[in-house]
Structures are given as C-alpha cells and as structure tokens.
Amino acid sequence: MTTVVPTETAKPAVQASLPRVGVLLINLGTPDTADAPGVRVYLKEFLSDPRVIEDQGLVWQFVLNGIILRRRPRTKALDYRKIWNNEKNESPLKTITRSKSEKLASALSDRAHVVVDWAMRYGNPSIRSGIDALIAKGCERILAVPLYPQYSASTSATVCDEVFRVLARLRAQPTLRVTPPYYEDEPYIEALATSIEAHLATLPFKPELIVASFHGMPKSYVDKGDPYQDHCVATTEALRRRLGMDASKLLLTFQSRFGNDEWLQPYTDKTMERLAKEGVRRIAVVTPGFAADCLETLEEIAQENAEIFKHNGGEQFAAIPCLNDSEPGMDVIRALVLRELQGWI
C-alpha cells in the first residue's frame, strides 16, 4: 500500500515592496524678494544661462554686468511689487507651483510609493534641492515634469540640463524620466477651452476677439531649429478648432521680447496698439504657454498691455487667468504624470 505524504500548502509569494517614485514639478523661477537685490540675483542666474542667451561672450558679459544688472533690477522690482503675494511674501508663481504640487500629491495619495515635490529652474527651491529631497525619501526613480506646454531649448531643455548636472555628481543615480511637451494633448486643449469659456461667461462684455499671447523668442533660435514656434501654432490651431473660431477671432502673438534682435512676430504689444487704432474696443487675452500666472501674465499682460490697448482707443480689456491650480489645470498635469509613470506604478 502506497503511503501518500501530504504536501505542505504552498505559501503565497511575498510581493516585494514597490520602489519609491519621485515626481518633481519644475517651473521657470522667481526672485526670493521683491527688491533690487533679490531681482539682481535672479536675473544674474537667468541671463547667465547659455540656453537663454546663447552668446555668453565678452560683449554680453559687459552688457549684463555693466548695464543690465545695474539698472534693470530696480525697475523689475517695482513690477514684482505690483503682483507680489504679500501674505506669503513670495511671487504668485511660487505660490501656485507649490499648490499644484500639493494638489497632485493629494490626487496620487492612493499610491503610497509616489512622492511629489516641486522646484524652480532659477532661484529657490532649486532643482538640486528637489532631487536631493526625493532621494532622501528613498526615491529610486524620478519623473521630472517641466511645466511648459510648448518645448523650447530655453525652457524645457535647460531644465533637463540642470537635472542632468545634478545627477552627474551622484554615484548612485536614480532612474530618470522627463515628461514631453503637451502642446496639443487633448486634456490640455480641453482645459484651456473650458477655462476660456468659463471666464468669458463672467465678463460684463463680449470680446470682439481673443488674443493668444505666448512668450517670445529670438527668431534666430527658431531659424537654428527650435520647434517652439511650431508648437505655439499647433496649440493655437487646436484651440481654434475646439472653440469654433478662425484666425480672425483668435489671434496668435508673442510677448516679452528683450534686446534689439528680431523676435517672433507678431508682437503682443504692437498688436494691442494696432487693434485699438483699427477700432477694436473689446478684447480678451489668454496666455496658453504659461502653466501658472506670473510677472509676464499679471503685470505685462493684465497691466501693461491693457494700458496700451486703452491708451490707443480700446475700452474693455480682460486678461484670462492661466490654468494655474484650477481643477481643469490639475486634470492636465495629473493626466500627463499618470501617462508617463506607466510601468513604474
């Protein structure tokens, strides 16, 4: 008679704990203080980046250190004070970027191994401090999220440059991913359209047309192969389709030019002047290239360009807020991050 020896019931394999994943939201940057010394430190770092000013030769060093950093900080500090978050003693860009990070962390709270933080390319908190903090929390993988819908070497690429510089000093490097530009992603275009429609519904007037103003860039950068202009055009065309507008009702312009070189055209300020002189009396401006309101949207558009428009005959001007940390804005970032984290979570 054969004796059957009962076998031990197989125990379920113990699932290895998932490695911690860091998500680092990265915005452009801001001075730490709304005064000349704070702005000077910020401008020095920003304008010393060869991705921003490609020719960093002796002539530029003389102009930067001998002229710009002596004069410009005082005037720009006055502009920052116009939009400063006095309650938190920081710029709105810092306030909003922090909030985006906190809201994304809350949205991903069911994934305990995901850690969300934020950083600035220029100023504080630095990219280095952000990466160091994620590594200190045990993150073996990091997803860097440049908060620029449209790619350019002077924004997205310089973020990558700095991330790579930080990792280059490490012996034990985390695995890295970087989110791609999202200039015509469906969630982004839908969020823009929803935001525009909601804001227009609150206005006491109906704009005759809408201007989509993007940050400018020297034309020579595009001539050398930067895809930024193409991305801005693609965003605007997608937004026109979604809103049911043609090019005469949703215009594309470029703002914030600097220096004497030719920049991408048409220029926003010149367009404001021209439209007003041609008889346009009611206008709205949206800034799709900015993920968060900042000096360029709150002061340059909402104040300077509004004044240009009204000084030349315009009557009613509306600056539509950026997506910021609104629900539609957070939907865009959440969808982007979850898509790029596939395989890690």
pLDDT in tens, 162-207: 999 999 999 999 999 999 999 999 999 999 999 999 999 999 999 9
65-77 residue pLDDT tens = 999 999 999 999 9
Regarding whether 256 and 121 lie in a shared domain, the answer is no
Regarding whether 225 and 160 lie in a shared domain, the answer is no
Regarding whether 172 and 315 lie in a shared domain, the answer is no
- Average of per-residue pLDDT across 287-313: 98
Give how many domains the chain has, as a whole number: 2
Query: In terms of residue numbers, what domain contains 175?
Result: 20-181+327-340
Q: Is 296 annotated as a binding residue?
A: yes
What is the Cα–Cα distance from 147 to 117, expressed in whole angstroms? 13
Residue 122 to residues 43, 47, 136, 162, Cα–Cα distance (Å): 9, 10, 22, 10
Q: Is residue 34 part of a domain?
A: yes
- How does DSSP classify residue 100? H
- Average of per-residue pLDDT across 79-105: 98
Regarding whether 242 and 103 lie in a shared domain, the answer is no
Regarding whether 282 and 245 lie in a shared domain, the answer is yes
β-partners of residue 211 are 251, 285
Structure tokens at 145: 């999220």
- Average of per-residue pLDDT across 235-251: 97
CATH number of the domain that 112 lies in?
A: 3.40.50.1400
Q: Is 113 annotated as a binding residue?
A: no
pTM score > 0.85 for this model? yes
pLDDT at 59: 96
- Residue 96, H or E segment: helix 92-107
